A and B are shown apart, each in its own frame.
Chain A
């Protein structure tokens, strides 16, 4: 069985000559979650965007189910993939229910079907349709908007979900809630997910596989356990930098205790 998504020596150079992806090769198995980590500018988002051809690789190939993504119909390719981004990109002039079902509307499906699907999906992501379906995006909180964004990505029941720092703009509590919801949802729906994040904990919690990019190169692709035990310098550096915040918190607690004694 071919991989759900396969990158074959994918490179991308900007018109200004900056190399953003440097011969990235990897295969994602169907129904798994791959979390892409890396510092800002490491090429995470660019790699994700080569999958739905928002970015066309300047070299190499992206294969979807064994077929070259660049060969087929662009619109059909994109409709077969859910897309969630940090800024949600909800359409401010549409109600929540219309936002969710827009892909179905674009496909010309009848209205009753669209509404039904939209309401089912709102329930799935934990929003009561009776309350939320007819609201507009500006009447929602950040977390609610992100839920609508997720529901919209699922509308056409695509086998692939592309998520670019979906919870990056949320407060820690809402983010944790959303991560739980997503994990539960994915365990039922079995989507192939590509998740770009800069949150190591999120990657470890949601990912079946952790990928680390550095300057456009793939430096690691392994299970969360292997990733945490790796002695590879890039990985040790990344994990160390991430946990510095936790160490500061620990020091703070210790200092507070010392102060009381």
Chain B
């Protein structure tokens, strides 16, 4: 890769990186909005934990290319490739966030939860003042796993025309141009590393010494 390569592809790499970020970011936002409340609900109705986490687990096992393929013929979704990509990535992100939210809250010392109830905290106060702060580092760990996974899977979204750095990779593979493959793969790897490090810092920030 030389200066000419960058002058030719530099702006494309930047645009596709942003697209990649947008696909992953939107998916993480939706997944968090679904999985955190669902995880909290499961701690209140633990009978549902096994089937619900099992279902999220099944979603996780669908090969990503097949998942994009399944979503393609759906009416509203199929119109825009980015929609498919975001829905698929959201589905993949659910399990780690859901599981960690559930386990994080269930793992709190029962004496602490007991006292929170006995002191007369309302359910909401107990959740927001005690349970969520104490489970925060777990929830963030789930978010971190989900993000890193999704940054990787998002490269495959290019197969259905959703854009992102996968586009360079697919083009590179098709034209047997390793430089193009790397131009897509390296920024994707970098994104994953940065997300991992950033969320890792946040996770440590929320860690509570017992």
**How many of A's residues come within 8 Å of B, CB to CB?**
26
Q: Which of A78, A80, A138 contacts B117 (CB 8 A)?
A: A78
B174: CB under 8 A from chain A?
no
Across the two chains, which residue of chain A brings its CB closest to B114?
A89
Q: List CB contacts (< 8 Å) of A91-106 with chain B.
A: 91-93, 102-103, 105-106
| Size band of the interface chain B makes with A | 20 to 34
B208: CB under 8 A from chain A?
yes
What separation, in Å, do the CA atoms of A106 and B121 have in the docked complex?
A: 6
A52: CB under 8 A from chain B?
yes
Number of A-B contacts (CB under 8 A): 64
Cβ contact within 8 Å between B114 and A102: no
From known contacts A85-B111, A106-B125, infer whether A92 and B134 are also in contact, taking CB-CB under 8 Å. Answer: yes
Q: List CB contacts (< 8 Å) of A71-115 with chain B.
A: 75-81, 83, 85, 87-93, 102-103, 105-106
What is the interface of chain B mostly: helix, strand, loop, or mixed? helix
B44: CB under 8 A from chain A?
no
Q: List CB contacts (< 8 Å) of B119-170 with chain A.
A: 119-122, 125, 129-130, 133-134
16 A-B pairs with CB atoms under 8 Å apart are A80-B120, A83-B115, A83-B119, A87-B111, A89-B112, A89-B114, A89-B115, A92-B112, A92-B208, A92-B209, A92-B210, A102-B121, A103-B119, A106-B120, A106-B125, A138-B209
Residues of A that sit less than 8 Å from B by CB: 52, 54, 75-81, 83, 85, 87-93, 102-103, 105-106, 136, 138, 152, 162
Residues of B that sit less than 8 Å from A by CB: 109, 111-112, 114-122, 125, 129-130, 133-134, 208-210
